[in-house]
Amino acid sequence: MNPAPACDMQAFHEQCLIAVTHDHRPIGDDLPRMLAGGVTAKVYQVTLDVDVEAGYEASRTRTEGWLRLAASGMDDALRDIEDHPDRCLLARTVTDIVRAKEHGIAAILLGSEGTRWLEGSLEPLRLFHRLGLRELQLTWAFPNAVVPDGHLSAFGKAVVQECERLGILVDLTHCPSQAFFEVVRIARKPLIVSHGSARGVTTDLADEHIRALAQSGGLLGIHFYTTYLGPNAAPDDVFRQVDYVAQLVGIDHVALGVDFFPTEGPWYDLQVAQGTRNLRWAVPDFSRMPEMTQCLCLHGYHQDAIRKVLGLNFLRVCREVFG
């Protein structure tokens, strides 16, 4: 593999379409960093299977109010996008993402980390799709109606099938292993793990999970967080994950998951409740994403391979799922 010449590194980075498959940092606040770092697109989570303000334990047994919480998050995200028409757009299609790159603005795709907000019905899913939802993570830390006991329920099967019909990415991040493979068996379109890592390098997914993602035509978005990369996370640690997946299943099945989130207040408390206090990533924010491109180049990756990792793999999956 031939590295990009050092003198052309920044120019090469600026040419690339860079997409992040999972993110929580508020859209408006993050736009200057996205644009400074050449990040074209991110999947922003409008809601989670936890009420961040109420806290981890209070959310564990809560059974009501999830759709209302999700609707508020969706409204906030859409307002944020509408408030910055010169800097971003709501991406519903691959064409929208490409258009954002051409115009030098950010494409915001909307996702959900968990499905409690469906409250046992497909109607909210259809409504949120009309509003712009394009990614759905089936589970988070707590059981829900889609995966109530480690297995995919009948309702969960209906959710996966409706996502495929509508054109919504099905995300298996944090999915129990049995449910993971139950989804794989019924899926007809590519599946993703939007933010995770290879157990062969540090922790998280076994090779069999990664192979199943690749066989579906999907991908693994590499996490940038210390819990997945180690306490001194750096771009080299992301590279090791990328390279492991590439060697295992091919370069077409790996992307950048990142998973930034706020680091103060309730968000910090949420991490502490899960046993984590080291709130650091391989790069501190999107303005530093050129460091990731440089790292891939210096490790000898060909420019075509780097383009795939940075964004083209995700674009391909979106094209296959969105239609």
In a domain, 163, yes or no: yes
| Distance (Å, whole) CA 195 – CA 285 | 16
The model carries a pTM of 0.96
In a domain, 1, yes or no: no
In a domain, 18, yes or no: yes
Q: What are phi and psi of 195, to 5 degrees?
A: -150, 110
Q: Please report, for the domain that includes residue 285, its CATH number.
A: 3.20.20.140
In a domain, 264, yes or no: yes
Q: Taking the C-alpha atoms of 182, 207, 143 and 278 in order, what is their torsion angle to the nearest 10 degrees?
A: -160
List the chain pLDDT tens, one digit each, 323 residues.
454 444 488 899 999 999 999 999 999 999 999 999 999 999 999 999 999 999 999 999 999 999 999 999 999 999 999 999 999 999 999 999 999 999 999 999 999 999 999 999 999 999 999 999 999 999 999 999 999 999 999 999 999 999 999 999 999 999 999 999 999 999 999 999 999 999 999 999 999 999 999 999 999 999 999 999 999 999 999 999 999 999 999 999 999 999 999 999 999 999 999 998 899 999 999 999 999 999 999 999 999 999 999 999 999 999 999 99
In a domain, 200, yes or no: yes
In a domain, 118, yes or no: yes
Supply 282's token pair.
């391989």
**Residue 237, domain extent:** 6-322
Domain count, the chain: 1
In a domain, 263, yes or no: yes
